[in-house]
Amino acid sequence: MTGQTKKAFWLHYLQNLVGVFGLVISAYGLFVELYSAQNPHCKPMCVLHEYFSCSTALNSRFGTGLGLIGPIFGDDHVLNQKNAAYGFVTYTLLLILGKFTSIRAARIYYWITIVLNIMTVYLSVVLVYLQTFEKKESPY
């Protein structure tokens, strides 16, 4: 393998690894939300401490539609889904786009990644807000 080919191989490998990791985390988030709705006394693995609980964010008003879709379009709108569902669809799309070698696919991949990074900052701010100002007694 030449240096350039080796670099492309590892970049493609890393791209797939991140995509699969995001897919697994999103699937776990969906599982936690659905399972905790049926079993309110379950304690998911992502509840590490009373100050760091994924269920705080998942069960808040920001856990569906990114906290934006419901107030704009209404709670019954088709786009108002659980945040983990958005992640599942997005990481699946990234894994599919990673298989193409066209410039168009690379640009779409790039812009989706930019939007994901912006959403990460937004959801981090939401999490800090929830932990600081809307702290409720944790059942765990």
For the beta carbon of residue 37, count every other beta carbon within 10 angstroms. Answer: 11
pLDDT of residue 138: 47
C-alpha R_g of the chain: 18
Query: Which amino acid, 10?
Result: W
| pLDDT tens string 96-138 | 998 888 899 989 999 999 999 999 899 888 878 877 876 654 4
Q: How confident is the model at residue 140 (pLDDT cuts 50, 70, 90)?
A: very low
Q: How confident is the model at residue 51 (pLDDT cuts 50, 70, 90)?
A: low
Q: Which run of H or E residues covers position 114? A: helix 103-133
pLDDT of residue 72: 92
**Rounded CA separation 23/10 (Å):** 20
Q: pTM of whole model > 0.85? A: no
